[in-house]
A and B are shown apart, each in its own frame.
Chain A
Amino acid sequence: MTSNASVSVDLLDSLLDIQPPTSLHAARHAREKVAAATQASQDLFFDPELANNLSLTERLWVAYYATYLTPQPLLSAHYLAQLQARGVSQRVRQSVEAGELDSLGDPRLAAILRFTRTLIESPVNGDQQALQALQQEGLSTEEIVVLAQLIAFLSYQVRLAAGLDALRSAGAAQ
Chain B
Amino acid sequence: MSDVIRDHGFTNEVLGWKAWLPTVDLASASAAQVAVLEESHPQAKTSDYYLTLAHHPDILRQRSQAFNAIMYAPGGLSRAERELASTVVSRVNRCVYCASVHAQRFEQLAKRNDVIRELFADPATAGTNAREKAIVRFSIDLTLEPASVNASHIQALREHGLDDGQVLDLIHAISIFAWANRLMLNLGEPVFPDA
Chain A positions near chain B (C-beta within 8 angstroms): 1-2, 23-24, 27-28, 30-31, 33-34, 36-38, 40-41, 44-45, 53, 70-72, 119, 123-124, 126, 128, 130-131, 141-142, 144-146, 148-149, 151-153, 155-160, 162-167, 169-173
Knowing A126-B185, A149-B56, A153-B179, the reply to whether A159 touches B62 (Cβ < 8 A) is no
Chain B positions near chain A (C-beta within 8 angstroms): 20-22, 52-53, 55-56, 58-60, 62-63, 65-66, 69-70, 73, 76, 93-95, 142-143, 146-147, 149-151, 153-155, 158, 163-165, 167-169, 171-172, 174-176, 178-183, 185-187, 189
Question: Could you say which residues of chain B place their CB within 8 Å of the CB of A152?
Answer: 178-183, 186
Where chain A touches its partner, the secondary structure class is helix
Q: Is the CB of A166 within 8 A of B174?
A: no
Between A and B, 26 residue pairs with Cβ closer than 8 Å are A31-B69, A31-B168, A31-B172, A33-B69, A37-B65, A37-B66, A41-B59, A41-B66, A72-B147, A119-B182, A123-B93, A126-B182, A130-B186, A145-B53, A149-B53, A155-B179, A155-B182, A156-B66, A157-B175, A158-B146, A160-B171, A162-B147, A164-B168, A164-B171, A172-B164, A173-B163
Docked complex Cα distance between A148 and B180 (Å): 10
From A131, which residue of chain B is reached at the shortest CB distance? B20
From B185, which residue of chain A is reached at the shortest CB distance? A123
Scoring A27, A145, A171, A173 by chain B CB atoms within 10 A of each residue's CB, the highest score goes to: A145
**Which of B21, B53, B73, B182 is the one whose CB lies under 8 Å from A131?**
B21
User: Which 3 interchain pairs have the tightest Cβ spacing?
Assistant: A163-B171, A33-B69, A37-B66
Q: Beyond the given A31-B169, A162-B149, please list 18 additional residue pairs across the A-B interface where CB-CB is below 8 A.
A: A23-B164, A31-B70, A31-B168, A34-B70, A37-B63, A37-B66, A41-B62, A70-B146, A72-B146, A72-B147, A119-B186, A124-B94, A126-B182, A141-B22, A155-B179, A163-B174, A164-B171, A173-B158
